Amino acid sequence: MSLLELDGVKVHFPVKKGILFDRTVGHVYAVDGVSLSVEAGQTYGLVGESGCGKTTLGRAVLRLVDVTDGRVVLDGTDVAQLPEREMRSFRRRLQMVFQDPLGSLNPRQNIESILSEGMAAHGIGANQEERREKIKEILAKVGLPGNALSRYPHEFSGGQRQRIGIARALVLEPDVIICDEPVSALDVSIQAQVVNLLEELQKSMGLTYLVIAHDLAVVRHISDVIGVMYLGSLVEEAPSDALYEGPKHPYTKALMSAVPVPDPEVEDRRERILLLGDLPSPANPPAGCRFHTRCPWKQDTRCATERPELRDLGGGHRVACHFAAEIASGEIARTSGEVVPAVREGVVDADPESDAESDAESDAESDAENGSGGAVPPPRAGTADGDAGAADASGGGDASGGGNASGGGNPSRAGEALEPSADAEAPEPSGGGSDAGASGVTSGGRTGKDAASGEKASSSERTSSEKTSEAPAST
C-alpha cells in the first residue's frame, strides 16, 4: 500500500451572487477528480501551466482547503474525513514548504520563535532548551549557522529564507512534505542549492516529497514519477525518464516541446508545437475531454462528448486520451495547431547574397545623402595638412563633413577648401604667424558647431565696432 493515495479528489469553490441573500450560481472546478499515489521515500512531481489546480491539490492534501469529494489517504487514514481536533494532531505528519518564503514567515518573530512554535504545539521537546538544541541541529542540516536563532526573516536572503521554511517543516519530523514551487522565487544558482539540499535530506531522513512546480527541468532532476495536470485533471502520469523521452498525451507533447535542449545541434533540429486558443475557464470547462478545444489531434467522434479516463499503456505510463496509441503510432495526423522551429519561431534566415546587396545599397544611399558620391576628394595642393588629411580620409577617418576642423583635428573634406558663404567674413590671421592656408581651413570650411561659433564671433565683432562708432565724441 502506498504511503499517500488520492482517489477522485475534487475541490469545487462555489460562485455566489446576491445583495441581501447569497445564492450559489455556479462553481469553479479547481480540482476535478484527481487520483494518484506516492510511495514512501519517493518524489512525485506535479507540473502544469498556471491555473491548472496544482497548488489547490497540495492544499487539499493538508486540509488547508476543504475537499468537496474523494479520499486523501495517508498511511491508511482518510485525512479528508478526520474531525478538526484529530486533524490538528495528525497534521504533524504532513508539512508544507510554501512558494513565497518571506510571506510564509512571521516578520515579528525571530527564527527560534518561528521554529519552536510548532514543536511546542505538538509536544516536541520537554523544555525550551531541549527544543533549541533540536532547532540548531536542523539548522545545521539545512546549511544555516546557529546564531541565526536570534535574527528576523528580513535579515536573510531569499535562499536562506527558503532554508528556514524547509527547517520549519523538518523540526516536526513529518512523513510527507509538500513543496509548493520551492525554488520559483530564487535565482538559478540558489535554485540548484535548494534542490540539492532537498535530495540530501531525503536520503538522510527518508522523506517523501510531493513537488509542485512549473519548471520542467527542476521537476525532471528531482522527481521519480511525474504527473501532468490540465484544467483540474490529471492527463498523464509516468516515470520521469519515460515521460520526457516519450510523452503520449497531446498536451504533454506540446509542454515538452517548449523545454530547451542544451545540445545546439539537437536544439536547431527540434520543433515546437504551438497550441491555438486560450485556456478555458475552470468555472465553465468544456464537455468531453478538457483539452479538445486546443488539441492538435482532435477527432470528431469522442473527444467533445466523452471524458477519457486514465488508462495504463504499460510500464506505469497512464494517459487520459482516447487516441493516445494511434497518435503515437502515427495513424492519426495532426489536424490543427502549428509547428515551428524551437530556436527562431517563424523567423527565416536571410540569404547572405541579399544581405551583401542590401548593405551596398545602404552605403550608396548614405554617400548620396552626404554629397560624396562614394569617392574621396583629392587633398588640396599647397596646404601643410593636405597629405595628412588625405591619409586620414583614406584610412577610414571621418570625411563626411561632420568632423571637427577648427582645432587641428580631421578636416571635414580631407583638406578640401569649401567656398565661403555670402554672409561670412574671412577670419583675421592669428598672432602666431600661421595663416588660413597653413591650417587648411577657411571660414567656409567650418561645419556644424564650429561654423556656428565662427558666425557668432563675427557677429559679436561687428556689434562691438558699431557700438564704438556710435559712442559720443566727448567720451
CB of 256 closer than 8 Å to CB of 216: yes
* DSSP tag of 343: S
- Which amino acid, residue 200? E
pLDDT for residue 456 is more than 80: no
CB neighbours of residue 471 within 10 Å: 8
pLDDT for 360 equals 61
The mean per-residue pLDDT over the stretch 69-78 comes to: 94
Is 390 a residue whose pLDDT tops 80? no
Place of cell 513565497: 100
User: Which amino acid is located at 327 in the chain?
Assistant: I
CA 347-350-355 angle, 5° bins: 145
**Which of 78, 83, 85, 80 shows the shortest CA–CA distance to 63?**
80
Report the predicted TM-score, pTM, of the whole model to 2 decimal places. Answer: 0.70
- State the Rg of the chain over Cα: 38
Q: How confident is the model over 171-222, as pLDDT tens digits?
A: 999 999 999 999 887 888 888 888 999 999 999 999 999 999 988 888 988 9
Per-residue pLDDT tens digits for 253-286 = 999 888 887 888 877 777 788 888 888 999 999 9
Contacts 24+ apart (CB under 8 A), 138-145: 138/167, 138/170, 138/171, 139/111, 139/167, 141/167, 141/170, 141/201, 141/204, 142/166, 142/167, 142/170, 142/197, 142/201, 143/193, 143/197
Average confidence score pLDDT of the chain = 78
Spatial CB neighbours of 52, under 8 Å, sequence gap ≥ 6: 229, 230, 231, 232
Give 362's pLDDT tier (boundaries 50, 70, 90).
low
The amino acid at 235: V
